[in-house]
């Protein structure tokens, strides 16, 4: 009888889904929570200049190298050329089904997909391809291209592209220009939006057999640019397509303005900034407080050829700091991690190294309504956390927790005593000026750094730890070694930045989810594996209302903070960028996610 009843329920659910899908209306945009801000007849995105002149060129400068123009495969996961698919410079060659608005937490507008259809439960999504969409060789973009791409990335792509079909029960071609994805029980309410950000590749011009190999051979895309020149590891140049199919779409008016985009590569941040000073490239986002306050005394600034701009940040701070590799036995005990967190003297470092330019970070979503800092947990948070009574410390749950504030001397005895008490509770003692474990082994570990800026902060931390007999060595490695060791978790401690948005989602699974702990190439640098983390991520992904979403993110934030996986360093309240005076940005307020480089233009461009 139970089986019959269950079957009836399943059938009823299926009928409901069918009925729902039959009633689905084509939509020009979809939002994670609430409704899209722009109506179906919007003319352009609010943060662009729709009349921006076309022409001219821009050169960007980045640190690193590249050996591939295929960003979708494991072999070029961190060595693919910038710009091919790029959240900062724009998806110049390959486009996605929908495009994200930079002025809303998580809203997508039609691009390759002119419209989409879905039901209230988000059990399916159907993409209706724009009949005008064309590849750079003139052939149309079709449903077959979408299906081919999804299967190819599943078989030969890299995460996260390779795992997306694992949440799909059925992928079916509805017509020459329509594809429907029906989801299985592994899906969540965010997944249809994530799927909508998938790139599409041309079936007729992609060799599936060799797709997983790195290549410098330019591919055929549907985007606004084509690769015109490659100097392996040093420079890549993109030329704007005059026949670009989407140039008059509302989401594309006022963007893709340069005739030519160049990306130059440099071996270090020092070499990069020196090149900017000499006029080698045009736009320099500056993340160094010291450099921003002291580094612009050069002729181009005095002559007005270089303009400096500050933008107020409207998005969460993210988390930058020292990351413990909890796979190492020395960092398994949370008391040890908490003690070392106390020993980082932010006040001394901020004053002595950075002219007090930084703010201490107390949350992974500091500066936003998603942060748990200073707020007691609400009822929904407590419900989510109830199965894990030891996952969140009482002070973090009640919103009374704060990081220790030192006297700024670099040797605050009160903080040192409190940290030592925690270490003693974990079985350590000081003898002969060294901190020893119960077996008499010295407390010693290595911090891997990537550049001079990290090394400067690391030396300050090293000095604080030495006061309690802790031996932290600093090993600065080149970019290639840093990336390789990061991917294989070959370090004791590392310095990393975890970006945050107003709509955190599936990307958190690869940063903190238990399944990613031992998966090489994931972003779970801390080696976290906690049922409480997994449960709070799940609650976040399946939240149906804005209030539930906020509560689930705050609960997640509390679990991460209580685990002391990262020693929080600091963040800036502003974004800084310097650029050549001939490069212009739209007037007025920048979008929610900050200045948007694809909407800038060259004022010397000739009509």
Whether 252 and 275 share a structural domain: yes
Whether 340 and 445 share a structural domain: yes
- By residue range, what is the domain housing residue 333? 319-571
Does residue 291 lie in a domain region? yes
Whether 361 and 477 share a structural domain: yes
Whether 114 and 144 share a structural domain: yes
Whether 565 and 577 share a structural domain: no
Residue that finishes a domain, picked among 183, 211, 239: 211
Contacts of 95 (CB under 8 A, 6+ apart): 111, 112, 199, 200, 221, 222, 223, 246
The enclosing domain of 268 has a CATH number of 3.40.190.10
pLDDT in tens, 521-571: 899 999 999 999 999 999 999 998 999 999 999 999 999 999 999 999 999
Whether 356 and 479 share a structural domain: yes
Residue 162, H or E segment: none
Does residue 515 lie in a domain region? yes
Q: What is the pLDDT of residue 236?
A: 98
Whether 430 and 344 share a structural domain: yes
Here the tokens at position 414 are 């009160």
Residue 5 confidence (pLDDT) above 50: no
pLDDT in tens, 352-372: 998 888 999 999 999 999 999
Whether 567 and 582 share a structural domain: no
Does residue 11 lie in a domain region? no
Q: What is the pLDDT of residue 190?
A: 93
Range with the poorest average pLDDT among 217-226, 301-310, 380-389, 572-581: 572-581
The percent of residues above 70 in pLDDT, for the chain, comes to: 96
Whether 494 and 555 share a structural domain: yes
Contacts of 449 (CB under 8 A, 6+ apart): 455, 458, 474, 475, 476, 477, 495
Whether 230 and 207 share a structural domain: no
Does residue 183 lie in a domain region? yes
Band (160; pLDDT cuts 50, 70, 90): confident
Whether 326 and 301 share a structural domain: no
Residue (of 483, 240, 235, 503) closest to 370 by Cα position: 503
Whether 239 and 277 share a structural domain: yes
Residue that finishes a domain, picked among 211, 235, 267: 211
Q: What is the pLDDT of residue 17?
A: 37
Residue 20 confidence (pLDDT) above 80: no
How many domains, in total, are found in the chain?
3
Q: CA-to-CA distance for 518 and 577, rounded, in angstroms? A: 37
The enclosing domain of 441 has a CATH number of 3.10.105.10
Residue that finishes a domain, picked among 211, 246, 264: 211
Average pLDDT, the chain: 93
pLDDT in tens, 23-82: 579 999 999 998 999 999 999 999 999 999 999 999 999 999 999 999 999 888 778 999
Does residue 17 lie in a domain region? no
Contacts of 201 (CB under 8 A, 6+ apart): 72, 94, 145, 148, 149, 152, 219, 221
Lookup result for tokens 């419209």 = 115
pLDDT in tens, 565-581: 999 999 988 889 999 99
Band (274; pLDDT cuts 50, 70, 90): very high
Count of beta carbons in the 10 Å neighbourhood of residue 308? 13
């Amino acid at each position: 009888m139970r089986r019959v009843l269950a079957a009836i329920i399943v059938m009823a659910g299926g009928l409901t889904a069918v009925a729902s899908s039959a009633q689905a209306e084509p939509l020009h945009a979809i939002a994670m929570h609430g409704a899209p801000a722009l109506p179906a007849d919007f003319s352009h995105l609010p943060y662009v200049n729709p009349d921006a002149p076309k022409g001219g060129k821009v050169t960007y400068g980045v640190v690193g190298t590249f050996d591939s123009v295929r960003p979708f495969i494991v072999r070029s996961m961190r060595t693919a050329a910038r710009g091919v698919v790029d959240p900062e410079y724009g998806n110049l060659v390959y486009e996605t089904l929908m495009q994200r608005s930079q002025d809303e937490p998580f809203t997508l507008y039609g691009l390759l997909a002119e419209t989409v259809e879905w039901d209230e439960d988000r059990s399916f999504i159907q993409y209706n391809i724009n009949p005008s969409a064309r590849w750079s060789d003139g052939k149309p973009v079709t449903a077959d291209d979408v299906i081919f791409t999804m299967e190819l990335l599943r078989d030969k792509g890299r995460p996260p592209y390779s795992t997306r079909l694992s949440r799909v029960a059925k992928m079916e071609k509805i017509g020459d220009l329509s594809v429907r994805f029906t989801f299985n029980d592994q899906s969540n309410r965010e997944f249809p939006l994530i799927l909508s950000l998938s790139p599409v590749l041309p079936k007729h011009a992609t060799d599936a057999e060799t797709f997983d190999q790195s290549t410098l051979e330019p591919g055929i895309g549907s985007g606004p640019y084509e690769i015109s020149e490659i100097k392996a590891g040093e420079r890549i140049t993109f030329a704007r397509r005059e026949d670009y199919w989407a140039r008059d779409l509302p989401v594309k008016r006022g963007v893709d303005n340069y005739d030519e985009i160049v990306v130059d590569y440099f071996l270090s941040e020092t070499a990069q900034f020196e090149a900017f000073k000499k006029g080698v490239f045009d736009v320099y986002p500056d993340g160094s407080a010291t450099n921003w306050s002291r580094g612009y005394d050069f002729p181009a600034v005095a002559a007005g050829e270089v303009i400096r701009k500050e933008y107020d940040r409207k998005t969460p701070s993210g988390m930058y700091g020292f990351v413990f590799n909890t796979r190492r036995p020395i960092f398994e005990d949370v008391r040890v991690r908490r003690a070392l967190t106390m020993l980082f003297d932010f006040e001394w470092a901020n004053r002595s190294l950075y002219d007090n330019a930084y703010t201490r970070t107390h949350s992974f979503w500091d500066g936003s309504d998603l942060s748990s800092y200073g707020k007691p947990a609400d009822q929904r948070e407590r419900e989510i956390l109830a199965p894990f009574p030891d996952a969140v410390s009482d002070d973090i749950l009640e919103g009374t927790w704060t990081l220790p504030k030192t006297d700024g001397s670099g040797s605050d005895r009160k903080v040192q005593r409190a940290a030592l008490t925690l270490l003693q509770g974990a079985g350590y003692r000081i003898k002969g000026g060294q901190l020893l474990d119960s077996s008499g082994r010295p407390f010693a570990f290595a911090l891997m750094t990537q550049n001079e800026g990290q090394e400067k902060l690391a030396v300050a931390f090293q000095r604080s730890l030495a006061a309690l007999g802790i031996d932290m060595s600093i090993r600065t490695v080149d970019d290639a070694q840093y990336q390789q060791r990061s991917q294989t978790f070959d370090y004791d401690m590392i310095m990393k930045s975890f970006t945050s948005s107003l709509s955190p989602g599936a990307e958190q699974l690869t940063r903190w989810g238990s399944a990613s702990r031992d998966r090489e190439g994931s972003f779970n640098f801390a080696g976290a594996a906690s049922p409480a983390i997994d449960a709070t991520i799940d609650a976040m992904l399946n939240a149906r209302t804005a209030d539930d979403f906020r509560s689930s993110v705050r609960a997640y934030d509390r679990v991460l903070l209580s685990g002391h996986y990262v020693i929080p360093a600091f963040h800036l309240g502003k974004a800084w960028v310097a650029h050549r005076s001939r490069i212009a940005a739209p007037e007025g307020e920048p979008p929610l996610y900050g200045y948007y480089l694809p909407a800038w233009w060259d004022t010397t461009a000739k009509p």
